[in-house]
Amino acid sequence: MKILFKDARILSMYEGEEIYRGDLLTDGDTIAYVGKENKDLKADRTIDCHGNLLLPGFKNAHTHSAMSFSRSLSDDLALQDWLYKRIFPLEDKLTPSDIYYLSKVSVLEYLSGGITACFDMYYHPEEMARCAVDMGFRTVLLGTVTNYRESVAEMVESYHRINGHNPLVTYRLGFHAEYTCKDEILKELARAAHELKCPIYTHISETQNEVEGCKQRHDGMTPAEYFESLGLFDYGGGGFHCVAFTDHDIEIFKRHGCSVVTNPGSNSKLASGIAPLTKFVEAGLNLAVGTDGAGSNNGLDFFYEMRLACVLQKLLNHDPASFDAMLALKAATVGGAKAMGLDDCLYLKEGQKADLTMIDLNKPSMQPLNNIAKNLVYSGAKDCVALTMIGGKIFYENGEFFVGEDVKEIYRKAQEITDRLKAE
């Protein structure tokens, strides 16, 4: 199917390209034309944008979609108490099918907020893969091996089973964190990464306490130093949070081409700290944005994350000019796509995947029109999202979902699962 967006303001996110007025044509799952008005374009459906903004969809580069069950069930706790006293006990009760249904709630939230892809880290990845295919949502799945659940062998099996099965879904190697994985597991994982020539991703340096614990266990090494010593980053990858990063940690990530995925909402709520994003950008690291899961955030809202990313850097650096809003917008779109390996979802350009969002510029928070791009970061909100398209298909438009099933039934099933987890 061909869909033509007429008279749009287009923010391609291509380096150096300003917002311009024009048309965009999708053909199947690909952008076939984007540029100035073209009266010769033909389509099965034409959408008059009336000057509203088109830009690449946001890429949620760190999340745990099935954790929708824990929204507001574990608030106001420090990270270790939150994890060990509330989250892990509840997760032990989850069945594979629970993960399938709970993930759907998060996908709906992604769509309503202009998010077109997620980097999902959770158990039983085949269930999120099933959810992604059924709902048409682009997903990069990530292994989450720990001392307690999911072995490296199971992760490698998932890697071979899931990759290449559906163009919407890919799979990468990962582990939860240094403090939840024995040395033997990480060494086995490093061997797997070398055999598959695959990048590895993990939670890393989320708190200063985590870093100090790692130093005590591993001869004074930070998590990044320890992982490098094992060869875990020899094929690249990335880290989530990176709050308590040292200058040497930054050098390690630069040396191996690793991405940093910041999660300012979760880190703020858990009082984990503020990641030094300005330092990351100055060092040339690829920076991406994630929401983390609904249990530690609690919303899955990229407008909130972008705004926090900016204002927290200004506080951290005592400098109102620190961390320009465009850096946050780039991290939320292009940076996320790069971190996830979605090189065909970077920009609004011909040949790229038709993964985009439309912003309603007639919302009060977007008026008057001064600097539209920066206004997205500092004043934008989820109610500004008029449309979300993935792979050339519209899944959310003007407040209505088009996911092939009754949204109320998705909510009902998720509530039923959540009530069971609390009661058991």
**pLDDT tens-place values along the chain, 424 residues long:** 999 999 999 999 999 999 999 999 999 999 999 999 999 999 999 999 999 999 999 999 999 999 999 998 877 877 788 778 878 888 888 999 999 999 999 999 999 999 999 999 999 999 999 999 999 999 999 999 999 988 999 999 999 999 999 999 999 999 999 999 999 999 999 999 999 999 999 999 999 999 999 999 999 999 999 999 999 999 999 999 999 999 999 999 999 999 999 999 999 999 999 999 999 999 999 999 999 999 889 999 999 999 999 999 999 999 999 999 999 999 999 999 999 999 999 999 999 999 999 999 999 999 999 999 999 999 999 999 999 999 999 999 999 999 999 999 999 999 999 999 988 7
Cα maximum dimension of the chain:
67
d(CA 43, CA 28): 11
**CB within 8 Å of 76: residues ≥ 6 apart:** none
Tell me, what amino acid is at 140?
V
Beta bridge partner(s), residue 55: 357
Q: State how far the Cα of 77 lies from the Cα of 86, in Å rounded to an integer.
A: 9
- pLDDT confidence of residue 199: 98
Q: Give the global pTM.
A: 0.97
Cα 378 from chain centroid?
20
pLDDT at 87: 83
**For the chain, which residues make up each domain, given as ranges?**
2-57+352-401, 59-340
Q: How far is CA 48 from CA 4, 22, 24, 84, 376, in A?
A: 8, 11, 11, 51, 21
Q: Do domains 2-57+352-401 and 59-340 have the same CATH topology?
A: no
Distances (CA, A) of 214 to 71, 137, 179, 249, 329: 29, 37, 7, 13, 33
| Per CATH, domain 2-57+352-401 is 3.40.50.1220 | no
User: What's phi and psi for 169, nearest 5 deg?
Assistant: -125, 130
Q: Is the dihedral of CA 370, 374, 375, 376 positive or negative?
A: positive
How many whole angstroms separate alpha carbon 409 and alpha carbon 411? 5
Amino acid present at 48: D
**133 and 403 Cβ atoms separated by less than 8 Å:** no
CATH architecture, domain 59-340? Alpha-Beta Barrel (3.20)
How high is the pLDDT of residue 89? 86
pLDDT at 132: 98
Tell me, what's the pLDDT at 161? 95
Query: What does the alpha-carbon distance between residue 345 and residue 44 come to, in Å, rounded to a whole number?
Result: 23
